[in-house]
Amino acid sequence: MAPIRSIRSLARLGAPLALLLGAAHAAALTVAFTGSGIVAGGPQVFPVLGGLSLSAATSNYTVGGESGWHVDKLFDFNVVSLVGSGTFTFTHGSDSLTGTFTSTKANAAAPTDLLYSVVGGTGSFAGYVGSGSSTGSTEGNAFGLPAALVTFTETGNLNLAPIPEPATVLLLAAGLAGTALRLRRR
């Protein structure tokens, strides 16, 4: 009976430990950002703007109130359907956020709306995932690339949440098992 008694003791401790570790785990956060950069690409053929990039070397962003961030984006945009997609990485020293985005426009003259999906991060954002949105504007004619000067400016928010650590999930499960055992005994 000693092993069962120690399992029950461990299960009883699981719930408080899981709550303590859960409280110590990082909280969800919303990060505002704004910035601009120069769009680059090869010669373009109507109706698809393809292989476009916004590079860290030509971009300057403020993320979460901290300036000096840069973004790398690779994307395509169809000027007939007014829909595009791509990948991104925001970087600042050892901090980064990486993911994908889609973009749409209500009409050719309207601002561009971007929807972000954050799939990971490093540094202060290690273990975070989430989503976000921004509104942006393009100045210049992308069909004139590579010679044309095309800039993109945007403002938005990212909603980030930590991925639960396996140990926290394990402790939560142990706590729930302990609670179930206790209720069963009553």
Q: Give CA separation, 47 vs 44, 168, 175, in Å.
A: 9, 50, 57
How far is it, in rounded angstroms, from Cα 18 to Cα 155? 38
Whether residue 21 is predicted with pLDDT greater than 80 in this model: the reply is: no
What percentage of the chain exceeds 90 in pLDDT? 67
Tell me if the bond preceding 111 is cis, omega within 30° of 0.
Answer: no
Q: How far apart are CA 142 and CA 105, in angstroms?
A: 16
- Give the pTM: 0.76
H/E stretch holding 129 reads strand 128-139
User: Within a 10 A sphere around the Cβ of 45, how many other Cβ atoms?
Assistant: 9
- Position 165 scores a pLDDT of 67
Closest CA to 33 of 157, 127, 150: 157
Query: Above pLDDT 70, what percent of the chain?
Result: 81
What is residue 170's predicted lDDT score, i.e. its pLDDT?
A: 67
DSSP 8-class letter at 186: -
Query: What was the pLDDT predicted at 23?
Result: 42
Instruction: Give the pair of three-digit tokens for residue 52.
Output: 């476009």
Cα–Cα distance between 151 and 38 in angstroms, integer? Answer: 4
Q: Which tens digits make up the pLDDT trace of 25-37?
A: 568 999 999 999 9
If one compares 1 and 105, the residue with the highest pLDDT of the two is 105
